[in-house]
Amino acid sequence: MNSRSIIHKDSKIGKNVEIGSFCSIGSNVSIDDNCKIHSNVVINGNVTIKKNVEIFPFVSIGSIPQDLKYKGEKTKIIIGENCKIREYVTVNLGTKGGGGVTKVGKNCLLMIGTHIAHDCIIGDNVIFANHSTLAGHVIIENNVVVGALSAIHQFSRIGEGSMIGGMSGVTADVAPFSTVMGNRAKLSGLNLVGLKRSRFKKVEINELRKVFKYIFYSKDKTLEDRVKKIKNQKIKFYTIKRILNFLDGETRRSFCMP
């Protein structure tokens, strides 16, 4: 512990936690074992930080939401194990109307200037490049990469294993294992690099390519009809099932299309 930091007596600090100079740790903060908090970090509100998290200077976690509907209700933030949170990242508390929790999963990397707004739910192994910004209520599934200077619209869903190109404006749901990019992001194909890195077998990737092309690029009837046609077939591959389930899931947005 550093004597030049302000650490509330009611905060819970685990074993082998390093806290640098000029930090402020609030009363409802819980920091688990083996975390490293660099200098000039502010953590307030009801915040739980799991094991082995490293937080770099000038990060703010637990400030109130940038939502005029927020009236001081008790909400929280959960940061999963093994995350790295780089300089100038901001993570806001949840709101009562949005479920009350802002959550970041395990093994995530939040690069410089990333903003996680109220009630966002982030999966595991997600990478946010510099100055990625999420509006409220965004859901990001596991193994997603968000490119630098990208912005994601509120209530959007970003499917598992997808990739957002740099400087993209995402205003609709992004299907699993896809790539999108552009000022108003459009579907640009499968995330083949991500699929190979995740060690999906060639036979599955080849079958996924056929299904993906039919669902998103075919002119046969409507998107709903095409999804229904694929669902009526015998599906054995995980990736295809995930896309079908995602497209059937509850959404408040449209889908990114070519």
Output phi, psi for 228, to 5 deg.
Answer: -60, -40
Output phi, psi for 231, to 5 deg.
Answer: -65, -25
Catalytic residue among 38, 118, 137, 153: 118
Distance between terminal CA atoms of the chain? 53
Catalytic residue among 80, 105, 136, 147: 136
Beta bridge partners of 3: none
Instruction: Dig out the tokens for 123 from the structure.
Output: 């999966």
Amino acid letter, 77:
I
Catalytic residue among 119, 147, 165, 173: 119
**Catalytic residue check, 119:** yes
Give me the DSSP letters along 30-91: EE-TT-EE-SS-EE-SEEEE-TT-EE-TT-EEEEPPS-TT--S---EEEE-TT-EE-TT-EE
Catalytic residue annotation: 118-119, 136
